[in-house]
Structure 1
Amino acid sequence: MSFHTTAENIRVDDNRFLRARLTNGDGEWVDAEIDLNNCLGNSNGQFVWGGSGFADSCESVSFNLEGGDNVPILRARLIDGDGNAVDADVNLAERIENQGGQFVVV
């Protein structure tokens, strides 16, 4: 299940740490954190899942819940192979789930 439907106080801190309070299946809210720099990379100015280190080559990171479904979107200007900053975004719900109160990349 996409994490954002079972979370509150969702945010991205320090340009790379996704943090929230997640339900754990027992009706309890628990603090959770995942370092997005370990699961998102930068490939020539585009976010890529399964990569790493996007935060080492970006600027202007922002996070918002967007649209009527509150889709969790991470935006940044990623540096491409020519050194240009390129606008990029990624839907974090594509690959991040809440499993028992913990973020899991699937």
Structure 2
Amino acid sequence: MGFHKSSMEIKLKDGHVLTAYCRRLSGDATYSELDLDEFLGTKKGQFAWGCTDFSTHSADVDLHLEGPTNEPMLHAHLDDGTGNMQDSEVNLASCIKNIDGNLRFMDCF
């Protein structure tokens, strides 16, 4: 299950740090942060899990909760390696989970 289904106040800080209040097994919620630059990079103008430092190759980074289930979609203009910027998006719920109140990257590739 994606972290967004058990988290509140999901935000992006400094263009690369995911923040949220995540529900614990006990039912209470705790503040958690996860630096996306440690797990998310770019390849040819697209987001790439398992790479690093996407924020150094991006502009106009924004997080939106989209669709009927509020999927956490990260949007940005990413350098394609030739100096051109391309629109890209990635669903953060595909690789990030809430583990007892903590945002955690989970291998997903």
What is the TM-score when the length of structure 2 is the normalising length?
0.95
Aligned to 1:77: 77
For residues 1-106 of structure 1, the aligned pairs below 5 Å read: 1-106=1-106
Q: Which runs of 5 or more structure 1 residues have no equivalent in the other structure?
A: none
Question: Equivalent pairs: percent with the same residue?
Answer: 38
After superposition, the C-alpha distances for 1:19-55 in whole angstroms (9 at most, x for unaligned) are: 0000111011100000001000011100000110100
Q: Which runs of 5 or more structure 2 residues have no equivalent in the other structure?
A: none
Q: State the Cα distance separating 1:105 from its structure 2 match.
A: 1.0
SS for the counterpart of 1:81 is coil
Letter of the structure 1 residue corresponding to residue 42 of structure 2: N
Letter of the structure 2 residue corresponding to residue 46 of structure 1: Q
| CA RMSD in angstroms, aligned pairs only | 0.6
Q: Would you identify which runs of 4 or more consecutive aligned residues in structure 1 move more than 6 Å?
A: none
What is the TM-score when the length of structure 1 is the normalising length?
0.98
Q: State the Cα distance separating 1:13 from its structure 2 match.
A: 1.1
The count of residues paired between Structure 1 and Structure 2 equals 106
